[in-house]
Amino acid sequence: MGTGWKAALVLMMLVMFFSGAASAGSDVGAVVAVKNRAIIAREKQEFDAKVKDGIFSIDTVTTLEASRAKMLFRDDSVLTLGEKSRLVVKEYVYNEGQRGASVFNLIDGKMKAIVGNTNFEVHTPTALAGARGTVILFENGVVAGRRRTTIISEEGSVEIKNIDSNIPKKIILEPHWMTTVWEGEAPTEPEPAPLELIVRLSGQTDMGYQEITVIDPVVTETGLLYTPDLSAGSPAGLPPINQQPPAPETAASTSTSSPVNVRVVFP
C-alpha cells in the first residue's frame, strides 16, 4: 500500500476517532506520529506518547533529542514538534460547525503549525502569533543569553507581537517572510526568509509518511476507531493527501501556491 493511502487512512481513522470521542468531552486531538521518543505530561503524570494517544487541553508534550511528534486536532490543525521541544495546550475551545479558539505555549524548540478552522495563537517566552488558515514555522530558544523566537509564514498572514503587553507594536507577516522577537523588544521588521532557513526548519519539523504506522484494526484509549477493508484494494475515490508539503524550491516559485490541501470534515 502506497504512502499516500497510508496517510489518507490515518486521517480517516482520526475522523472516526474525533466523532466518537466528542461525547466524552476530553480529547482535543491525537498523536499521529512519533519519531524516537516524546513524553506527554498530564496531571502530574508522565508517559511515552504513542500513535493514537489522545491529547487533552491540559497536556504538555515534550520531544527528546533526535525525536519528533506530530499531532492532529479537532479543528484540522496539525502541529509537528522538532527535537528537544516542549508544547503546552493552554486553551482549546471547539464546537462542531463553529469557529473555535486554541492557544498553545511553545516553551522551547521548533514547531510547524498548519492552522485549521480556528482562531489560533501560539505563545512563546517572547512572542505571540495569531493566525487563521496558515502554515507557520517557529524556532524558539536562547542566543547569547537572550531569549528569542524566529517566525516564518509559509502561507497566509500571521499577526505577531511581543508577549509583553507593555510592548504594543504589531507586525503582519506575509508568505515567505520572517521576523524575530527578542526578549523585551518589538518584533523586527518583516524581511524575506532565506531559502536555506525555510528548508532547514521545514526539515527539522517534518515527518515522512513512512513514520506513520497504520494498524488494522485501530483502537485508541476511547475505543475502536476504524477497521479498514482492504480486500478490494485501496478505497475507491479517496485521493492521496499531502498534509505536510515539501519545502519550496525557491521562495519566489511558491508565492502564489497553496501547499495545504487537506480538509478533514468531522461529522
Higher pLDDT, 76 or 229: 76
pLDDT score of 9 more than 60: no
Q: Which residue segment(s) compose the domain that 158 sits in?
A: 3-254
pLDDT score of 233 more than 80: no
pLDDT score of 164 more than 70: yes
- Say which residues have a Cβ less than 8 Å from residue 205's Cβ, sequence separation at least 6: 68, 80, 81, 82, 110, 111, 112, 137
Query: 213 with 6: CB under 8 angstroms?
Result: no
CA atoms within 13 A on the CB side of 241: 15
Pair type for strands 68-73 and 54-56: unpaired
Q: Does a structural domain hold residue 224?
A: yes
Higher pLDDT, 266 or 110: 110
| Position 232 confidence tier, pLDDT thresholds 50, 70, 90 | very low
Q: Does a structural domain hold residue 236?
A: yes
What DSSP assignment string belongs to the chain?
Answer: --HHHHHHHHHHHHHHHHHHHGGGT-EEEEEEEEES-EEEEETTEEEE--TT-EEETT-EEEE-TT-EEEEEETTS-EEEE-TT-EEEEEEEE--TTS-EEEEEEEEEEEEEEE--SEEEEEE-SSEEEEESS-EEEEEEEEETTEEEEEEEEEES-EEEEESSTT---EEEEPTTEEEEEETTSPPPPPEEPPHHHHHHHHHHT---GGGS---SSEEETTEEEE----TTSSPTT-----SSPPPPS-TGGGTT-------PPP-
Name 30's bridge partners.
Answer: 54, 72
Give the lowest-confidence range in 124-128, 150-154, 250-254. Answer: 250-254
Distance CA 161, CA 55 (A): 28
Pair type for strands 127-131 and 158-162: antiparallel
Q: Does a structural domain hold residue 127?
A: yes
Q: pLDDT tens-digit profile of 40-89?
A: 999 889 999 999 999 999 899 999 999 999 999 998 999 999 999 999 99
Looking at the 3D structure of the chain, how many domains does it have? 1
- Is 92 exposed, middle or buried, given 0-12, 13-18 or 19+ CB atoms closer than 10 A? buried
pLDDT score of 35 more than 70: yes
Joined grid coordinates for residue 168: 504594543
- Per-residue pLDDT, averaged over 180-195, amounts to 97
| Position 12 confidence tier, pLDDT thresholds 50, 70, 90 | low
Query: 261 with 114: CB under 8 angstroms?
Result: no
Give the lowest-confidence range in 63-67, 144-148, 201-205, 239-243. Answer: 239-243
Q: Does a structural domain hold residue 133?
A: yes
Backbone φ and ψ of 20, nearest 5°: -80, -30
Joined grid coordinates for residue 234: 485501496
pLDDT score of 225 more than 70: no
Q: Does a structural domain hold residue 261?
A: no
Domain with residue 56: its CATH number is 2.60.120.1440
Question: Given this model, what pLDDT does residue 214 score?
Answer: 40
Question: Given this model, what pLDDT does residue 96 score?
Answer: 72
Q: Does a structural domain hold residue 265?
A: no
Higher pLDDT, 18 or 79: 79
Question: Given this model, what pLDDT does residue 82 score?
Answer: 98
Q: Does a structural domain hold residue 262?
A: no
Q: Does a structural domain hold residue 50?
A: yes
Closest to 173 (Cα-Cα) out of 232, 122, 242: 122
| Position 95 confidence tier, pLDDT thresholds 50, 70, 90 | confident
